[in-house]
Structures are given as C-alpha cells and as structure tokens.
Chains A and B, each alone.
Chain A
C-alpha cells in the first residue's frame, strides 16, 4: 500500500514528516511522461497506476457483474484524491461503463423500458437532490464524513446479506432438494395506489414503489459516487419482485440516466468531475472487464457471491476503521474546490 501511495506526488495526510519540502525535490520521478497532471483533481498521478486501478476494478466487475463504483470511489479516496472529486468523477465513469454494458442486455431483450422509465424519473429527482445535498454538506465541512458513513452502512449491510445468502446457498447445494422460494410474496406494498402494468417484468404494481426506490438510489448515487446497482438489484428482486433476467439490464438502463444527471450537476454545481481521470480509469476498466468475464465463467455462482461479499466487507471495515481511529492530526485544511 505504501509503495502505491508513493506513486502519488501529493503527500497524504500524516504520511510525510515536516521536512516534506526537503524530500520532494529528491523524490521527483525520473520518467516524467509516466505522470499525468489531472486538471480538476489538481495533482500529478502515475498513468499506469490509474490504468491498473481501472483494470483491477474492471476485472472484479467482469467477474461479479457489478458496476464497481462502490469499490473504485473508496480506492480513489484511499489513494489521496479528495472525496468530492472521487465521487463526481466516478459518476462520469459509471455512465460510460453502463452505456457499454446495457447494449448487450438490450440486444437480448432484457431491458424493461417501462419499469426503467419510472425508476429513472425517481432517479433523476433523487440524484439532483443528492448533488444539492452534497454541496450543502461540503459547505458545512461534513461531506467526507457523510460519504464514508454511507459506505460503512451500505457496504456493511449488503456485504453481510450477501455473505449469509451465499453461505446458505452453499449449504443447500450440499443438501439436494431444498425448499423452493415463491416467485414473489404479496404484502402491503401491493395495496398502494397508481397501479401500473409492467409487461416485461410480469408485474402489476403501484408506480410509487419503483419511483421511491429510484429517488433513494438516486440520492445514494450522487453522494457515494456509485451507480447504485448493488442497492437497486436487490430492491428490484426482493421489493418489486421482478424476474431476475430483466433486473440487470433494467438497472443498467436507468443507471445511465441517473449518472448522466449526477455528472451534469456535479460538474455545474460543484466542479468536481475530472474527465481526464474518468477516461483513464475507464480505459483500464474496459480491458479488466474482458478478463473478468472469462475468469468469472469458470467460478461457481455461490463462491462468486461469497467472494464479493468478503471484498465488500473488507472495504467497509477499512473505511469504518479510519473513521474510528484517532487521526494523526486532528486539524485539516478544508476542501477548497471551485476556488
């Protein structure tokens, strides 16, 4: 970790002694064209580090079929990019990877456009509100805390649920003939007004339900710098009762619009989108995803989910640990983006 950190020109908090000015001159990299100065993040980074990061997270998303934003944003933050810029830039990168991902699902007819449409109306409301909230929190100096807390809560919950689920599945696969789950249960959520028919999803439910989910995921997407697939997919399966074959395609479809909206507002309200950074990460992610898909097809579903759960929990633990640990310096310079 330390060697990776040293690839960054910017001294990280508590990383170097007071004599940083003294050592910086000697630490200057020799091959200067390996480094790129990110215009918005305003720091000089090794290009191969960014490509490698993209490949790594791209591989994971290829293996597990997830967007990877929930891993990329914390990794960018760990590496010293300021949280607001990590979040804004990730929205931009996820937009690109969702566009690329949705096409395959669309060809196979796995996108429920009507459901996606209702979700994205909610998503646009939510992400616009989210970016506004983000700005308010930044002015209060609390945005870092809220980003980190959201990660701990969501990664912790999702990771735990996935781990339990995959352990159960592993047990079940050992004992054949386990109980079959009902397609979907009926509860009070099905009594809400404004019912709509979603043919592709074979559902007749209140439009308020996907709308609310859209709003909530939109807020998360704006604050955490994620597509929200890791919340959206379980919500579609367990809350809406959508058939699993259309879940991923529909989620990707609406993520395109939500992240495009978040990108626009993050750029125009907060100036926190660095498209040079987004482009480099994306270039790596494209390659990584190709490798990941091949690797993923050789592993079992339950093992995959268990593994992903462990990665998610590890990231969650690291962020949680940083929040609880007494920092080296209680004082810090506030984020001065936008100047």
Chain B
C-alpha cells in the first residue's frame, strides 16, 4: 500500500517534471568553457555559447556580469581647468552586460518582454546612493552606460547569434582584457511569435589565476607584505643592474 502510494507520487513528480523539461527543452544551451582565467598572458577571451532549439523562433543571449558600486563623476570648469565636480554612486550597477541576438530586436522582440527580462541597456535598473532628481539621475545613468560601452563592457550585437537549419544556434561572446572578475550569468531565450517560449541560464566564472592571482591577492589581502616585497625586489634589481653595469 505504502509502496504503491510512493510509486504513484514518484510517477506524478516524474511526469510533471518531464512536462516542464519538455517546455524548457525547446532551448538547450551550453558554454565551451565555464571558467575564464586571467593569467599573465591574458588579452581577452572568446567563449562559445551554443545550443539547440525546437521549432522556429529567434534567439537572444544576455550576459550579465557581477554587480558592484560604480561612481560616476562629472567635470566642471574651475578657474580655467576641468575638475571633477558632482558625483553619483550607483550601488549595484552591473559591471558587464552584453546582448547578442539572431536578428534585429525591433523585428521580433516586444518591448514588454525586453522590459521583463532586462534585454537592452535601457531596461537595466540603476539605483543611486545619493538623493538626486530624475533628470540628474538620467544624465549620470546615460553617462555610465556610455563609459561602459567605451570600455567594451556594455554592448548589443544584433545578428551575431547564428541559427543553423532552425535547429542549432551559436554565438561567440568576447570578454576583453579589462573584464571585471566574478560570477557571470548567461541567459539564452527562445522567442516565437512575440512570446517567450523557453529560457536557460548558465553561470560563468571570470577569475584571476596562477601568479596573476597570487600577486593580486597578496597586494589586497596582505598589503604590508606586498609593500615590503616590492621594496626588496626593487633594491635587488637596483643592485643587480649596478653589478651588470660594472662588469661591462
């Protein structure tokens, strides 16, 4: 009796989850690697996101980096020179944000969906630490977005997701040399007839590694030791340079 009940429950659970996965399975995606290592030779990294879709539709991929406080400063002319004047700090600003799509968004992605899933920089939320008016906030917010775009941290690449035979899709995500470290969230969406059919999230880690990480951690966790080490290295280098010069 007990066993039959348990089996029945198990069967129900299995069926419902199967039903759900069939829906989610309309899109499956994975990354070529889940860890981007920043080492001494790091010049940026291309990561491949690939997957399969079921049926027709368009694919959009959103890459979101870790959140961090970002301070924006505005310059003003003071006694003839340009000096930083007003500043606004956004508490949980997104440090890295890229959108990649299979075709131009305007042709197929309704604004309601973009807003709900934060697809496009205009739908990102920025919360200033200071009490400022809406006009001021908008100015600083657009400036932040502009600066991040210049750094290659924010971007929108329409037509950069290629869909093959209506079954497979792939896109290459470039993480530049100045990429912020932390946990990234990559999300792929399948949209058909203006409706979100399926979505899948996958994490990616960007971390310093090897000697790169050692030096950085030493400098930030044990700054006094790092300082003494820097002095010793410099003194040794100076002595070595002198010895080398004398020999010649």
A333 to B154, CA, bound (A): 14
Contact A324 B223 (CB under 8 A): no
Q: Which residues of B contact A53 (CB under 8 A)?
A: none
Interface stretch (choices A32-40, A179-187, A195-203, A296-304): A32-40
Give the distance in Å from the alpha carbon of A213 to the alpha carbon of B238 in the complex.
Answer: 26
- State whether the Cβ of B83 lies closer than 8 Å to any Cβ in chain A: yes
Residues of A within 8 A of B144 (CB): 331, 333
Interface contact B87-A334, CB-CB below 8 Å: yes
By size class, the interface of chain A is: 35 or more
Known: A24-B176, A92-B234. A271 touches B223 (CB 8 A): yes
Asked if A16 meets B150 with Cβ closer than 8 Å, knowing A9-B44, A39-B215, A92-B234, the reply is yes
Which listed residue, B152, B157, B215, B224, touches A276 by the CB 8 Å rule? Answer: B215
Tell me whether A282 and B237 are in contact in the complex, defined as CB-CB below 8 angstroms, given that A40-B219, A142-B84, A326-B82 are known contacts. Answer: yes
Check B230 against A339 for contact (C-beta < 8 Å): no
In the bound complex, how far is the Cα of B231 from the Cα of A92, in angstroms? 7
A336:B70 contact, CB within 8 angstroms: yes
In chain A, residues 4-27, which have Cβ atoms closer than 8 Å to a Cβ of chain B?
Answer: 9-11, 13-16, 18-22, 24-25
Residue-wise, chain A 133-175 has the 8 Å CB interface mask toward B (1 for contact) of: 0000000011011000100000000000000000000000000
Decide: A18 and B150 in contact? CB cutoff 8 A: yes
Residue interface mask B136-155, A partner, CB < 8 A = 1: 00011001101111111111
By a CB distance below 8 angstroms, the chain A residues around B174 are: 21, 24-25
List the B residue with the shortest CB-CB distance to A330. Answer: B75
List of A residues within 8 angstroms of B154 by Cβ = 21
| B41 / chain A contacts, CB cutoff of 8 Å | 32-33, 35-37
Q: B223: which of A9, A29, A93, A267 is its contact (CB, 8 Å)? A: A267
Q: Are A149 and B242 in contact (CB under 8 A)?
A: no
Instruction: Give the residue of A11, A19, A95, A323 whose beta carbon is less than 8 angstroms from that of B234.
Output: A95
When chains A and B are docked, how far (Å) is the Cα of A101 from the Cα of B242?
A: 7
- Shortest CB–CB separation between residue A40 and chain B, in angstroms? 6
With A and B bound together, what is the CA distance between A202 and B119 in angstroms? 76
The answer to whether A11 and B152 have CB atoms under 8 Å apart is yes
- Confirm or deny: A44 has a beta carbon within 8 angstroms of a beta carbon on chain B: yes
Q: Write the chain B residue with the least CB distance to A15.
A: B150
Q: Does A99 belong to the interface (CB within 8 Å)?
A: yes
Cα–Cα distance between A318 and B160 once the two chains are bound (Å)? 41
Which A residue's beta carbon lies closest to that of B95?
A336
Which of the residues B208, B224, B241 comes within 8 Å of A282, measured between beta carbons?
B241
User: A residues within 8 A CB of B73?
Assistant: 141, 331-334
Q: Which residue of A lies closest to B160 (CB)?
A: A22
A275, B151: Cβ atoms closer than 8 Å:
no
Chain A proximity of B62: nearest CB distance (Å): 14
Of the listed stretches A71-79, A217-225, A257-265, A309-317, chain B binds A257-265
Contact between B215 and A286, CB atoms less than 8 A apart: no
The interface bits of chain A over 58-101 (1 if a CB of B lies within 8 angstroms of the residue's CB, else 0) are 00000000000000000000000000000000001101111111
Given A24-B44, A42-B178, answer yes or no on A331-B245 (Cβ-Cβ < 8 Å). Answer: no
Is A279 at the interface (CB under 8 A from chain B)? Answer: yes
- A275: B residues at CB distance < 8 A: 215, 229-230, 233-234
For the complex, count residues of B whose C-beta is within 8 A of A: 70
B235 at the interface (CB under 8 A from A): yes
Are A99 and B239 in contact (CB-based, < 8 A)?
yes
| Residues of chain B in range 38-59 having any CB-CB distance to chain A below 8 Å | 38-44, 46
Partner of A100, one of B40, B76, B219, B245: B245
Q: Are A331 and B72 neighbours in the complex by a CB distance under 8 Å? A: yes
A10 and B220 contacting across the interface, CB-CB below 8 Å: no
Query: Do A265 and B233 touch across chains, with their CB atoms under 8 A apart?
Result: no
Assembly CA distance A335 to B79 (angstroms): 24
For the complex, is B177 an interface residue (Cβ under 8 Å from A)? yes
* B230 and A267 form a contact (CB under 8 A): yes
Known: A24-B174, A28-B43, A40-B215. A260 touches B150 (CB 8 A): no
B-side contacts of A15, CB under 8 Å: 150
| Contacting residues of chain A (89-118) with chain B, CB-CB under 8 angstroms | 92-93, 95-101, 103-104
- When distances are taken between beta carbons in the complex, the residues of chain A under 8 Å from B211 are 39
A residues near B98, Cβ cutoff 8 Å: 21
- Report yes or no: B215 in contact with A145, Cβ–Cβ below 8 A: no
Q: Given the complex of chains A and B, what is the CA–CA distance between A29 and B211 in angstroms? A: 22
> Complex: how many Å from CA A18 to CA B172?
19
Residue pair A278, B220 in contact (C-beta under 8 Å) = no
Interchain nearest-CB distance for A332 vs B (Å): 6
B166 within 8 A of A: no
**Contact partner, A99, options B80, B155, B178, B242, Cβ 8 Å:** B242
Q: How far is the CA of A33 from the CA of B42 in the complex (A)?
A: 9
Closest 10 CB pairs of A and B: A99-B238, A21-B155, A267-B227, A331-B143, A334-B71, A44-B177, A9-B177, A96-B234, A264-B227, A100-B238
Residue pairs across A and B with Cβ atoms less than 8 A apart, 25 shown, are: A9-B43, A21-B152, A21-B154, A21-B157, A24-B176, A25-B174, A35-B41, A40-B219, A100-B245, A103-B239, A141-B87, A264-B230, A273-B226, A275-B215, A323-B81, A329-B143, A329-B147, A330-B76, A331-B73, A331-B74, A331-B75, A331-B143, A331-B147, A333-B73, A338-B220
